[in-house]
Structure 1
């Protein structure tokens, strides 16, 4: 019997999941949970038209390296393992994070049609249109020193995404240890990819930046940047999504503990995202930061991101200038 293209796509998608069959496709020896997972997956894929299946397969096989469209499906939940799961939870468990437990751990990317649409009757089930949220390492720092009237003042107009369109919202500088490499990269769109090697796409390509006499440490670290990060300006702040296969390390004024000399550097694992700059906290910090606690130059609108290597109190590198490859995100605030 001849197989249709549609059935072939469905089979390829099932075979592409994170945990492939150990007993083959005949089902012998599979656990009941595996069978339920397969049934739920096939039930979801049956809702998709052939073109949507093509799009989903391309995203899965390229591991997010190729730009791909949304794959929209009804929000009807699916049942497996004695639980119900949303379509986006199921596909992200299948293709990205097998330990994922709840949809609340996921964040749609800014360009996804599901971003900011939690009540829409349809939802995107492209697993590479989602990142996994970083959990807080400690309770949120206190920002309660303002009066109630001050707490509800509007955010700085230049940093708010609802403000009139600016010429650009940030500049990006790329550094290798203490040396800045290349020119500042100016960002006009709401999101930008910063990468070393991406199969297809646009953005700031670090692989094209040349420098004589690179050390072996820098060369090895550059090789780990891969798909890099996606930086996006969103309604509540600036977010960084780690698209690479290695961790990134982040520091910004809104991640630090207010009125403390302790530097906070957050480790962000592959596939995870973190709000690297919070508009509301930035506004509050302007009123709460004590000047005598600042050591040397301080930029309240600068974010620093290191690829693969951490720095600070928990690492052997005390300063980011000791990191082989790092970025300085200079947010536009009427500089």
Structure 2
């Protein structure tokens, strides 16, 4: 299993971001100057459905012009992310264009998919407790060998994808990512082998989305846990990868 104390690509981006913040603070720049120093690619990590996630360092959100909308649709997105609370999806799908995205409840000086902005009435107590612990959440990073997840929170993440169930079997495997660690949660080489397997007859319980990843905050599920299904977890993500070019 490819698990490490921060993947190379992910760790590099985290360190670069921290260095930018430290240098800007040391220089005593205004917030406007601070924002102009940030990598512009971080500002374009928008959802075609939810728009920008407002943060202290982002420009105020404004509706896109027709030309900007056309340009947005021409750009290639590599995944969509949905946030779920048990069996209910909250908010719209978040479309990711950059090669990395932060997903968080509260992340000072960060941008990406802010779960704190997704409101829902009458949340259950387990959901409220779990949301309070999401904090800085995680970073998803698109690398040459696959998709990596870096746990930036203070609590464990639990992940399942078809390429983590290796060798392929009818049972599934849920992997745990401790705080400060990263894991390759989707392997492109294994995915190609699974695509070839599509030519074989599908199992009797129906077809499987080979490009889907499930990530649960804090609570695990599966054969080794009391929760047998991901829909029993209070707060979780569904990452749907775009088809390869």
Normalising to structure 2: TM-score of the pair?
A: 0.69
Residues 1-335 of structure 1: pairs in structure 2 closer than 5 A = 107-110=7-10, 112=12, 167-288=76-197, 291-293=201-203, 295-333=205-243
How far is the alpha carbon of 1:292 from its aligned partner?
Answer: 4.2
1:250 is paired with a residue whose SS is strand
Name stretches of at least 5 consecutive residues in structure 1 with no aligned partner.
1-103, 116-124, 127-164
**SS, match of residue 112 in structure 1:** helix
1:219 and 1:264 mapped to 2: Cα distance?
27
Q: Retained in 1: the 8 A contact 2:104–2:137?
A: yes
Tell me if the contact between 2:7 and 2:148 (Cα under 8 Å) persists in the aligned partners: no
Shift of 1:107: 3.2
Preserved contact between residue 126 and residue 234 of structure 2 (Cα < 8 Å): yes
Conserved 8 A contact 1:249-1:309: yes
Q: Is the 8 A contact 2:9 2:143 kept in 1?
A: no
Kindly tell me the number of residue pairs found equivalent between the two proteins. 187
The answer on whether the counterparts of 1:260 and 1:293 sit within 8 Å (CA) in structure 2 is no
CA distance in 2, matches of 1:331, 1:226: 25
In the aligned structure 1, how far is the partner of 2:108 from the partner of 2:98?
21
Q: Give 2:35's aligned residue.
A: none
2-structure distance, mates of 1:113, 1:200: 14
User: Partners in 1 of 2:195 and 2:209 — Cα distance?
Assistant: 11
Distance in 2 (CA, whole Å) between partners of 1:205 and 1:247 is: 19
Alpha-carbon displacement from aligned partner over 1:237-256 (angstroms, at most 9, x marks no partner): 00000000000000001001
- What is the distance in 1 between the residues matched to 2:244 and 2:8? 30
Q: Describe the shift of the 1:221–1:202 C-alpha distance in structure 2 as closer, same or farther (beyond 3 A).
A: same
Q: Answer whether contact 1:228 1:243 (CA < 8 A) is retained.
A: yes
Contact 2:5–2:181, Cα closer than 8 Å, also in 1? no
Q: How far apart, in 1, do the equivalents of 2:75 and 2:193 lie? A: 23
Q: Note closer, same or farther for the CA distance 1:166–1:253 as it changes in structure 2 (3 Å cut).
A: farther
Deviations 1:48-90 (A, max 9, x none): xxxxxxxxxxxxxxxxxxxxxxxxxxxxxxxxxxxxxxxxxxx
Question: Does the 8 Å contact 2:158/2:218 carry over to 1?
Answer: yes
Per-residue deviation, 1:199: 1.3
Deviation for aligned residue 1:259: 3.7
Distance of 1:114 and 1:183 partners within structure 2: 27
Give the greater-gyration-radius structure (CA).
Answer: 1
Change (3 A) 1:221 1:200: same
Which ranges in structure 2 are unaligned for 5 or more consecutive residues?
20-73
**Deviation beyond 2 Å, 4+ runs, structure 1:** 104-115, 287-297
> Could you say if the C-alpha distance between residues 105 and 199 of structure 1 is closer, same or farther in structure 2, counting changes exceeding 3 Å?
closer
Greater relative contact order (Cα < 8 A, sep 6+):
2
**Structure 1 residues 230, 105: CA separation in 2 closer, same or farther (over 3 Å shift)?**
closer
